Amino acid sequence: MICIVGGGASGMMAGIAAARSGGKVLLLERNPRLGKKLLATGNGRCNFTNSEIRLENYHGQDPAFALGALRRFPPHKTLEFFASLGVVPVTEAAGRVFPASNQAGSIVDVLRWELEALGVQVRTEAQVQEIRRGREFTVVLADDEIKAEKVILATGGKAHPQSGSDGKGLELAKSLGHRIIAPRPALVQLQLGKVYPQLQGIKVHAEIQLLARRRQIASRKGEILFTNYGLSGLPALALSRQAGELLAQGEEPVLSLNFAPDFSEEDLLEALSLRQLNQPRRPLERFFAGWLPNKLGETLIRAAGLASTAPASSLTSQQRRSLGKLIKAWRFPVTGLLGWQQAQVTAGGVDVSQVDSTTMESKVVKNLYFAGEILDIDGDSGGYNLQWAWSSGFLAGSEAARKN
């Protein structure tokens, strides 16, 4: 019997793949229902894969490890798999794929129904406390002990513990002899050293750069959101992994915001001059009206040390230059990341050098397999993490059943 620990995306996929390959499967989930985290994905719409997957979208100590599973079960297989279960895919910007229903619940439903149709035994409210190995595995629950020939650990990492993945799986892996790369929150909001209460809730298109020792580490473009602790929005989330690494190394990362990424410095200065000419009597606090959100415009004027009531015509060329600099490089120290509750994924996890990338089987413990976020692989935002869960779950499930 194959015992799968964790009924999230990767565990459900592993269960289906194992059962389809003829395995007898028991799926254990600590929550009362399967797939709790899936319901929260893609703002409740579930961005379940991406049509343009590249290795650069994956991170960890050895991202190439992911290729074994991604090649065996690539995005087109994900689309075929879900289409056969009735899910109609809709591809949006940047290759993000959602179900046409726009309901994450429909992804959970079709997986649950398929598990049922395949006769997979599902036990909910079954939290695994311990796994002992002897000739077989003994999987220990609060009120029961289960014998299994194979175990697939699909418990997720530590991100979003309110959905059930509280890091217990990493402890189980460690107790079985696996090395764990220290887990860190990723795809999470950034805390900044300076916040402007008046900007809270403002969304704006910008390019943001992450700097360390004045060197650019990474940059992202898109809609950012100012908050009471710092910055949110996809570009901020995307830089959080590297910001977290820098903070862990004792560096002092800086975020540089560029509100005019498509303007050269010269073009920007010209645009500022033109605004002055067009509206010379407008007070500077309204200088950016119609270009940037009003509150952001006012805050930039004050941050540049300019009097908000002075007329636009009073701007000197020197002041125009410093304003231009601020618009293109408004800098904030990054002081931290929000925590596990807000994080979408876990960076770090089970060290992949101790796992066979072609089967997902442990190199340390025979008949032990891994799937999903518990492994030291994390993806960018955009459907890459769920694709990893499907690919690794499919591989672990198929291989565990094949070797029966």
Ligand X SMILES: Cc1cc2nc3c(=O)[nH]c(=O)nc-3n(C[C@H](O)[C@H](O)[C@H](O)COP(=O)(O)OP(=O)(O)OC[C@H]3O[C@@H](n4cnc5c(N)ncnc54)[C@H](O)[C@@H]3O)c2cc1C
Q: What residues make contact with ligand X under the rule CB under 6 A? A: 5-11, 28-31, 36-38, 40-42, 46-47, 127-128, 154-156, 159-160, 164-165, 168-169, 344-345, 372-373, 383-386, 389
CB of 314 to ligand X, least distance (A): 48
Instruction: Report in angstroms how near the CB of residue 96 gets to ligand X at its nearest.
Output: 8
Pick 235 or 383: Cβ nearer ligand X:
383
Which residues partner with 254 through β-bridges?
A: 211, 333
Q: Provide the 10 A C-beta neighbour count for residue 219.
A: 16
Q: Which residues contact 311 (CB under 8 A, 6 or more apart)?
A: 280, 281, 282, 283, 284
Q: Which two tokens stand for residue 37?
A: 């985290």
Comparing CB distances to ligand X, the nearer of 297 and 349 is 349
Please identify, using beta-carbon distances, which residue of 173 and 334 lies nearer to ligand X.
173
**Residues constituting the chain:** 404
- Identify the sign of the CA torsion 348, 375, 179, 64: negative
Q: Between 115 and 128, whose beta carbon lies closer to ligand X?
A: 128
Distances (CA, A) of 271 to 190, 259, 312: 31, 13, 13
**Residue closer to ligand X (CB basis): 82 or 259:** 82
Q: Which is nearer to ligand X, 9 or 296 (CB)?
A: 9
Give me the least distance between CB of 86 and ligand X, in Å please. Answer: 20
CA 175 – CA 49 distance, rounded (Å): 33
Rounded CA gap, 154 and 5, in Å? 6
201: Cβ contacts below 8 Å, ≥ 6 apart? 225, 226, 227
In angstroms, what is the minimal distance from the CB of 147 to ligand X?
A: 17
SS3 annotation, 115-172: HHHCCCEEECCCCCCEEEECCCEEEECCCCEEEECEEEECCCCCCCHHHCCCCHHHHH
Nearer to ligand X (CB atom), residue 169 or residue 297? 169
SS3 325: helix
CB of 167 to ligand X, least distance (A): 8
Smallest distance from the beta carbon of 243 to ligand X, in angstroms? 18
Nearest distance from C-beta of residue 13 to ligand X, angstroms: 8
- From the CB of 80, what's the least distance to ligand X, in Å? 18
Beta-bridge partners for 370: 153
How far apart (Å, rounded) are the C-alpha atoms in residues 11 and 6? 5
Nearer to ligand X, 13 or 315 (CB): 13
* Residues forming a β-bridge with 150: 2
Both structure tokens of 371 = 């799937």
User: Which candidate, 403, 401, 402, 357, places its Cα nearest to that of 4?
Assistant: 401
Q: How far apart are CA 212 and CA 243, in angstroms?
A: 9
Pairing relation of β-strands 215-226 and 150-153?
unpaired
Closer to ligand X by CB, 38 or 257: give it. 38
Compute the distance between CA of residue 346 and CA of residue 348 in angstroms, rounded to an integer.
6
How far apart are CB 171 and ligand X at their closest, in Å? 9
Nearer to ligand X, 297 or 397 (CB): 397
Residue 292 is given by DSSP the state B
To the nearest whole angstrom, how small is the minimum distance from the Cβ of residue 209 to ligand X?
25
